[in-house]
Structure 1
């Protein structure tokens, strides 16, 4: 069995998939960074149990 060369369609599709993957990874990093910035700021407080029951 011989290996056939890759078709141009698969090459373009792989490039597009890598681009989408990088964009998705960047979005995840952005959301993580914003979450860390929000939690580490001094004004973040967890809701108290008494406030939740009312």
Structure 2
């Protein structure tokens, strides 16, 4: 049985498939990288609202009462 040469359409199809495969691999790598970054930085985020959790933020000092100065409030 003799070996047949590959037809031109098969060569073109293979090159398109390789190109599309590379694009898909790059897309998957991008989604994976974004997921890793989001998981690493997401410990202070709520579920779906993407707002910082108040329970994790450092406590703020209460403002001094009206009419009091900072020295009077500390005494």
TM-score (norm. length: structure 1): 0.76
CA RMSD, Structure 1 to Structure 2 (Å): 1.4
Match of residue 25 from structure 1:
25
Match of residue 72 from structure 2:
none
In structure 1, stretches of 5+ residues that fail to align are 47-54
* Higher Cα radius of gyration: 2
CA drift at 1:45: 5.8
In structure 2, stretches of 5+ residues that fail to align are 48-75
| C-alpha separation in 1, matches of 2:5 and 2:23 | 29
SS at match of 1:31: helix
Moved over 2 A (4+): 42-46
